Structure 1
Amino acid sequence: MKNRISWMASVILFAVSSYTLPDAYAQKSKGQKPNIILIMADDMGYSDIGSYGGEINTPNLDRLATEGLRFKEFYNNSICAPTRASLITGQYPHRAGLGYFDVDLGLPAYQGFLNKQSLTFGEVLRGAGYSTLLSGKWHVGKDSLSWPNQRGFDQFYGVLGGGANYFNDYPMPLGGRDYPVVLLENNKKLKPKPDSYYFTDEITNHAVNFLDEQDKSGKPFFLYLAYTAPHWPLHALPEDIAKYKGKFDQGWDELRKQRHARQIQLGIVPADSKIAQRDDIPAWENLTYDEQKLWASRMEVYAAMIDRMDQGIGKILSTLKALKKDDNTLIIFISDNGAEGGTYTLGARGKRYNSGPVGTSGSFDYVYKNWAQVSNTPFRSYKNNMHEGGISSPFIAWYPKKIKGNTIVKGTGHLIDLAPTFYDIAQAKYPSSFQGTTTHNLVGKSLLPVLTGVTTEVNRSEPIFWERAGNRAVRKGKWKLVSDYEKNKWELYDLEKDRGETTDLADQNPQVVRELSFDYQQWAVRTGVVDYETIKPKDAIGPVNEKKKGDGK
Structure 2
Amino acid sequence: MAGAVLAGALAAGFTATAASALQSENGQSIGGSAPVPVNRPNIVLILADDLGFTDIAPYGSEINTPTLSAMAQRGMSFTNYHTAANCAPARAMLLTGVDAHVAGVPNIPEMLGPEQRRHDHYQGVLGNNVVTVATLLEDAGYHTYMAGKWHLGAGAGKLPSQRGFERTVALADSGADNWEQRPYIPIYDKANWYADGKEYELPEDFYSSRFLVDKTIEFIDSNVSNQRPFFAYLPFQAVHIPVQAPQHFIDPYMATYEGGWDELREQRLARAIALGIVPERTGTVRMQTTDDWELLDEERRRYEAKRMAVYAGMVEAMDFHIGRLIEYLKASGQYDNTIFIFTSDNGAEASGPADLQDFATQRMVSSLGYRTDYETLGLKGSYNAISPSFASAAASPLAYYKFYAGEGGMRVPLIIAGASLPAKGVLSSAFSFVTDITPTILSFAGVTPPGERHGGRPVEPMIGRSLAPLLLDNAAGVYGPEDAVGYELAGHAALFQGDYKIVFNRGPLGDDRWHLFNIVEDPGESHELSSEMPQRFQSMLSAYERYAKDSRVVPVPPGYDHRKQLVLNILYGGLRTPFVVACLSVLMLLPFYVAYRMRRRDMRRPTTL
Q: Give the partner amino acid of 1:455.
A: A
**Is it true that 1:351 corresponds to 2:364 in the alignment?**
yes
The 3 A distance-change label for structure 1 pair 144 and 312 is: farther
| Contact in 2 for aligned 1:101/1:110 (Cα 8 Å) | no
**Is it true that 1:152 corresponds to 2:197 in the alignment?**
no
Alignment-derived partner of residue 22 in structure 1: 9
Alignment-derived partner of residue 317 in structure 1: 326
**Is it true that 1:410 corresponds to 2:435 in the alignment?**
no
Q: CA deviation at 1:178?
A: 3.7
* Correspondent of 2:183 among 171, 195, 203: 171
Q: CA deviation at 1:316?
A: 0.9
Q: Give the partner amino acid of 1:475.
A: F
Q: Give the partner amino acid of 1:36.
A: I
Alignment-derived partner of residue 201 in structure 2: 191
Alignment-derived partner of residue 84 in structure 1: 91
Q: CA deviation at 1:404?
A: 2.1
Q: CA deviation at 1:401?
A: 4.1
Q: CA deviation at 1:211?
A: 1.3
| Contact in 1 for aligned 2:264/2:393 (Cα 8 Å) | yes
| Contact in 1 for aligned 2:341/2:417 (Cα 8 Å) | yes
**2-structure distance, mates of 1:119, 1:448:** 21
Calculate the TM-score normalised by the size of structure 2.
0.83
**Is it true that 1:540 corresponds to 2:565 in the alignment?**
yes
The 3 A distance-change label for structure 1 pair 448 and 224 is: same
**2-structure distance, mates of 1:147, 1:122:** 12
Q: CA deviation at 1:19?
A: 4.6
User: For each residue in 1:379-438, what CA deviation from the matched residue of structure 2 results, as whole angstroms up to 9, or x when unmatched?
Assistant: 001100000000011111111142321111112111100111111111112222222211
Q: 1:137-286 to 2 correspondence within 5 Å?
A: 137-174=149-186, 177-178=187-188, 180-192=190-202, 196-286=205-295
Alignment-derived partner of residue 493 in structure 1: 517
Q: CA deviation at 1:44?
A: 0.7
* Correspondent of 2:312 among 294, 303, 308: 303
Q: CA deviation at 1:514?
A: 1.6
**2-structure distance, mates of 1:260, 1:404:** 25
**Is it true that 1:100 corresponds to 2:100 in the alignment?**
no
The 3 A distance-change label for structure 1 pair 348 and 425 is: farther
* Correspondent of 1:469 among 485, 490, 495: 490
Q: CA deviation at 1:318?
A: 0.5
Give the secondary structure class of the aligned counterpart of 1:499.
coil
The percent identity for this pair of structures is 30
**Is it true that 1:127 corresponds to 2:139 in the alignment?**
yes
**1-structure distance, mates of 2:521, 2:251:** 40
- Larger displacement relative to structure 2 (21-30 or 98-107): 21-30
* Correspondent of 2:479 among 459, 464, 467: 459
Q: CA deviation at 1:226?
A: 0.4
Q: CA deviation at 1:173?
A: 2.3
**2-structure distance, mates of 1:95, 1:372:** 30
**2-structure distance, mates of 1:322, 1:381:** 42
Superposed CA RMSD: 2.4
**2-structure distance, mates of 1:227, 1:141:** 17
**Is it true that 1:116 corresponds to 2:132 in the alignment?**
no
Alignment-derived partner of residue 448 in structure 2: 429
**Is it true that 1:529 corresponds to 2:516 in the alignment?**
no
**Is it true that 1:372 corresponds to 2:391 in the alignment?**
yes
Alignment-derived partner of residue 458 in structure 2: 438
The 3 A distance-change label for structure 1 pair 548 and 131 is: farther
The 3 A distance-change label for structure 1 pair 265 and 132 is: same
Q: CA deviation at 1:349?
A: 9.3
| Contact in 1 for aligned 2:348/2:401 (Cα 8 Å) | yes
Q: CA deviation at 1:114?
A: 1.0
The 3 A distance-change label for structure 1 pair 326 and 236 is: same
Q: Give the partner amino acid of 2:441.
A: F
| Contact in 2 for aligned 1:98/1:113 (Cα 8 Å) | yes
Q: CA deviation at 1:168?
A: 1.4
**1-structure distance, mates of 2:520, 2:448:** 36
Alignment-derived partner of residue 576 in structure 2: none
**1-structure distance, mates of 2:361, 2:535:** 41
The 3 A distance-change label for structure 1 pair 141 and 349 is: farther
Q: 1:383-402 to 2 correspondence within 5 Å?
A: 383-402=402-421
Q: CA deviation at 1:222?
A: 0.5
Q: Give the partner amino acid of 2:221.
A: D
Give the secondary structure class of the aligned counterpart of 1:260.
helix
| Contact in 2 for aligned 1:328/1:399 (Cα 8 Å) | yes
Give the secondary structure class of the aligned counterpart of 1:540.
helix
Alignment-derived partner of residue 36 in structure 1: 43
Q: Give the partner amino acid of 1:446.
A: S
| Contact in 2 for aligned 1:102/1:140 (Cα 8 Å) | no
Alignment-derived partner of residue 505 in structure 2: 484
Q: Give the partner amino acid of 2:524.
A: G
Q: 1:513-524 to 2 correspondence within 5 Å?
A: 513-524=537-548
Q: CA deviation at 1:344?
A: 2.2
Give the secondary structure class of the aligned counterpart of 2:565.
coil
Alignment-derived partner of residue 34 in structure 2: none
Q: Give the partner amino acid of 2:354.
A: Y
The 3 A distance-change label for structure 1 pair 456 and 121 is: same
| Contact in 2 for aligned 1:158/1:203 (Cα 8 Å) | no
Alignment-derived partner of residue 30 in structure 2: none
**1-structure distance, mates of 2:335, 2:445:** 16
* Correspondent of 1:50 among 46, 57, 60: 57
User: For each residue in 1:303-322, what CA deviation from the matched residue of structure 2 results, as whole angstroms up to 9, or x when unmatched?
Assistant: 11111100111011111111
| Contact in 2 for aligned 1:423/1:430 (Cα 8 Å) | yes
Q: CA deviation at 1:193?
A: 5.4
Give the secondary structure class of the aligned counterpart of 2:364.
coil
Alignment-derived partner of residue 69 in structure 2: 62
Alignment-derived partner of residue 448 in structure 1: 468
**1-structure distance, mates of 2:333, 2:564:** 50
The 3 A distance-change label for structure 1 pair 547 and 129 is: farther
Give the secondary structure class of the aligned counterpart of 2:443.
helix
Alignment-derived partner of residue 4 in structure 1: none
Q: Give the partner amino acid of 2:364.
A: K
Calculate the TM-score normalised by the size of structure 1.
0.91
**Is it true that 1:336 corresponds to 2:345 in the alignment?**
yes
Q: Give the partner amino acid of 1:517.
A: L
- Larger displacement relative to structure 2 (474-483 or 489-498): 489-498
Q: Give the partner amino acid of 2:163.
A: R
- Larger displacement relative to structure 2 (373-382 or 394-403): 394-403
Q: Give the partner amino acid of 1:518.
A: S
Give the secondary structure class of the aligned counterpart of 1:110.
coil
The 3 A distance-change label for structure 1 pair 87 and 148 is: same
Alignment-derived partner of residue 419 in structure 1: 438
Q: CA deviation at 1:120?
A: 0.5
